[in-house]
Amino acid sequence: MGVEPENTLRSFVRAERTGMDAIALDLRLSKDGVLVVLHDADVDRTTDGSGAVTDLTLDELRGLDAGQGERIPVFEEVLDSVRTPLQVSVQDRPAAAALAELLVGRDLTARVEVASFHDAVLAEAARLAPGVRTVLHSDLGGGSAAEVVDRALAAGVRALALDLRRLTLETVEAAHRAGLRVTGWTANTLEQLRLARALELDGVATDFPEIRSTGRFTA
């Protein structure tokens, strides 16, 4: 998020208070198998520490400063702190399996949407958490409209989240014809918002929740 430390409880609470339709976050597994909220595979960029998330225990991760004194949150803390629907990104099958177990155990499949750049990860989540909604992320690098839609349908997803910088009306229309919802990332300026509207997107992701005053978006 552009106005609060990235992927922290404080950022999610602020997004909820500004009325976001959904909150997007990223999950990683700690060395001891706990789902923590962090975008990168390592902690170097967003904390005062260094190293891969998978090489650090929960206690080690919780000892890091994620910005302005904030800690790296455990996913269950986010579930307990905000009521807004969540779009959760996972990029490997172990994290998807841990997430699916949590969603089923806490009966949260209706509240949490699972997103990934990897088809196999989405398939794993859907297999282990029947009924969960899944979203295919793509930067559209080198792929045609037909290819990304075919990939989404083969993966059994309900929505596409695509790179706004490479997105075309042809792709959006092809996805809509196939019954897929389409969102774009990331819209942080009025020019990008105008582009999203011109493309007839179903929503956009933004780093600035206050931008909601101009439409309905995902933080």
Burial class (CB in 10 A: 0-12, 13-18, 19+), 195: middle
Query: So what's the pLDDT on residue 209?
Result: 82
Q: What is the Cα–Cα distance from 113 to 168, expressed in whole angstroms? A: 24
Could you tell me the maximum CA-CA distance found in the chain, to the nearest angstrom?
48
Name the pLDDT band for 23 (thresholds 50, 70, 90).
Answer: very high
In this prediction the pTM is 0.93
Hey, what are 9's tokens?
A: 């409880």
Helix (H, G, I), strand (E, B) or coil at 142: coil
Beta bridge partners of 37: 27
- On whether the CB atoms of residues 42 and 50 are closer than 8 A, the answer is yes
pLDDT digits (tens, 9 = 90+) for 87-132: 999 999 999 999 999 999 999 999 999 999 999 999 999 999 999 9
**Which of the two residues, 218 and 181, has the higher pLDDT score?**
181
Kindly state the average pLDDT of the residues 202-213. Answer: 86
Q: Is the pLDDT of residue 21 over 60?
A: yes
Q: Phi first, then psi: what are they for 27, rounded to 5°?
A: -115, 140
Query: So what's the pLDDT on residue 195?
Result: 95
